[in-house]
Amino acid sequence: MELGLSLGDASKSSSLLKENNSPNEHQNQTGLDFCMSLGLTSNYQERGKAHDQNDDASASDASQDETPLQLNLLPLAPLPRQISSRLWSSDNGSSENGSSAAKGFDVNRTPAAAEASSANSKREFEADDDNGHNARKKLRLSKEQSAFLEESFKEHNTLNPKQKLALVKQLNLRARQVEVWFQNRRARTKLKQTEVDCEYLKKCCETLTVENRKLQKELQDLRALKTSNPFQAATTLTMCPSCERVASTSAAAKVIPFPLARPRFYPFPNQPAAS
DNA sequence: GTTGTCATAATGGTTACATCA
DNA sequence: CATGATGTAACCATTATGACA
């Protein structure tokens, strides 16, 4: 069974339903037109969020045998997103009490399984609570699924359509789920990397602060030296050949004759590098 | 049983790119 | 060829859910 929803223009919905098998069906988003299918056909995978349907490999094999049921919603009918989320956690027939906790659309089920269970469902659009609201259903991937995705992610952190399809088949998930998983996984990687970078920069900052203090101190000493003895000060400066920094620690204590002061550059090519 | 926190699945919006008229 | 419309996929920020302490 397929259920077509039309917002605003019923005639458009009819045409949509006829084209329901088109992989581009969801693209008809202009205006108030809104179409969805659910329940008993192989495109059980609902998705009120129309554009998701494109990601679903199974969406294109919707059965053509069923006569679509078309609803024309009244102005106060739920918004598409609400409908969408309702579908996500629609009653799968496993519970009679109607509590939202007991309900839920098992997104891990195969299309066949979903079809079988939804065959008992007559309440796909019933409100889950008094307000007519419903929460989206969040699945937890099994350990095996997660591990497999993780392995796949190690090999390539982005998916091409072929790889995606392979994972979809292997893990029995929807394409959108695989896609979202990779998306979120990339986000986690990026976040982790950002944290590492942040830590590294923090360390750099600390090092530079210490370095800066040292240099400030050196500068202070040099200035003090210069004011106390301007002639000697010039001759006591030494330059580290590696970092090209002026050392002034003992400069104030004794005067080093100019020729003995370290040259800025070693004049001979074979001269060992400064340690 | 309730509450707070955390990990993460899912959503909606935006953008870039390809294709077509 | 240039251009606008449209479709598609990827990314991002954010939300919401489920598990657990």
What's the pLDDT tens digit per position in A7-66? 333 333 333 333 333 333 333 333 333 333 333 333 333 333 333 443 443 333 333 333
- C1' of C13 to CA of A119 (Å): 38
Looking at A109, A138, A167, the residue that finishes a domain is A138
Asked if the model's pLDDT at residue A215 lies above 60, the reply is yes
Query: Do both A257 and A208 map to the same domain?
Result: no
Assess if residue A126 is contained within a domain.
yes
How many whole angstroms from its chain centre is CA A14?
37
Residue A54 sits in which domain range?
A: 3-138
Mean pLDDT of A194-217: 90
Q: CB–CB of A13/A6 below 8 Å? A: yes
Q: CB–CB of A44/A66 below 8 Å? A: no
Query: Do both A62 and A181 map to the same domain?
Result: no
Whole-number pLDDT of residue A204: 92
Query: How many domains would you assign to chain A?
Result: 3
Mean pLDDT of A264-272: 34
Query: Do both A155 and A125 map to the same domain?
Result: no
Nearest nt by C1' to A89 Cα = C17
Query: Do both A120 and A216 map to the same domain?
Result: no
Assess if residue A275 is contained within a domain.
no
Assess if residue A94 is contained within a domain.
yes
Looking at A96, A119, A138, the residue that finishes a domain is A138
- C1' of B15 to CA of A135 (Å): 29
Q: CB–CB of A91/A124 below 8 Å? A: yes
Query: Do both A67 and A149 map to the same domain?
Result: no
Query: Do both A117 and A145 map to the same domain?
Result: no
Query: Do both A133 and A146 map to the same domain?
Result: no
Query: Do both A166 and A131 map to the same domain?
Result: no
C15 C1' closest Cα residue:
A136
DSSP for residue A8: S
Looking at A122, A138, A154, the residue that finishes a domain is A138
